[in-house]
Chain A
Amino acid sequence: EAGVVQSPRYKIIEKKQPVAFWCNPISGHNTLYWYLQNLGQGPELLIRYENEEAVDDSQLPKDRFSAERLKGVDSTLKIQPAELGDSAVYLCASSLGVAGAVQYFGPGTRLTVT
């Protein structure tokens, strides 16, 4: 069974430029998560989707970050414009259900903003 797929794996952009990350969850998983992981820290939730609906998005900086999950499968996370402080690893995870459900993580996208 294929795991969570993310692309690109690495991205280097200049500040003020836009960037987008793509995630394909495990087939059948209705819940999808985007996490931010800074160096030396654990993942922090940005947004959670249950099917097409975005929930738990209180930590998403909505002035520059946006996300969508059309048709309740793939998801895209966008930053516009990027700032130096956005350099981090962006992880996508999926699960079947939410409460106490095992989350399966993708390999992440390492973003470097110069």
Chain B
Amino acid sequence: GENVEQHPSTLSVQEGDSAVIKCTYSDSASNYFPWYKQELGKGPQLIIDIRSNVGEKKDQRIAVTLNKTAKHFSLHITETQPEDSAVYFCAASGSGGSYIPTFGRGTSLIVHP
């Protein structure tokens, strides 16, 4: 089955800095890569996703890049704000006919004002 590794587990930045979270996946058949943000006491919420036919996608201050050859994808957040503080999960799906995403272990992002 699919295996998703996510790093770092904790990321502390100053307000205004950029934050980068990296994930690798094992199954080359995976073709859909969503990123979720989970705030305390809430369920994960999709913030951006990318499919295997593109290499990069941007939405205001967040962007995701995908390298299919190396089987890794990254989340980039620019101009971080305190409200960006949360746990971020990457996921991969679409392998071998199964469309259920496999999630990484999460990155706790702390943005200091």
Residues of A within 8 A of B (CB): 4, 33, 40-45, 48, 56, 91, 93, 98-108
Contact = CB atoms under 8 A, between A and B. Distances in A.
Contacts of A33: 100
Given A40-B106, A42-B106, A48 B100 contact: yes
Contacts of B6: 42
A102 B46 CA distance: 8
Interface of B: 4, 6, 31-32, 34, 36, 41-46, 49, 51, 89, 91, 93-94, 98-101, 103-106
Q: By DSSP majority rule, is chain A's interface helix, strand, loop, or mixed?
A: loop
Given A100-B94, A107-B43, 15 more contacts: A40-B106, A41-B106, A42-B91, A42-B104, A42-B105, A43-B44, A48-B100, A91-B43, A98-B99, A99-B94, A100-B99, A102-B34, A103-B46, A105-B45, A107-B41
Contacts, number: 53
B77 to A, nearest CB: 19
A87 B36 CA distance: 23
A100 B41 contact: no
Contact of A45 (B4, B41, B100): B100
B57 to A, nearest CB: 14
Contacts of B105: 40-42
B20 to A, nearest CB: 19
A105 B103 CA distance: 14
B106 A103 contact: no
Contacts of B43: 4, 91, 93, 105-108
B99 A42 contact: no
Contacts of B101: 103
A15 to B, nearest CB: 25
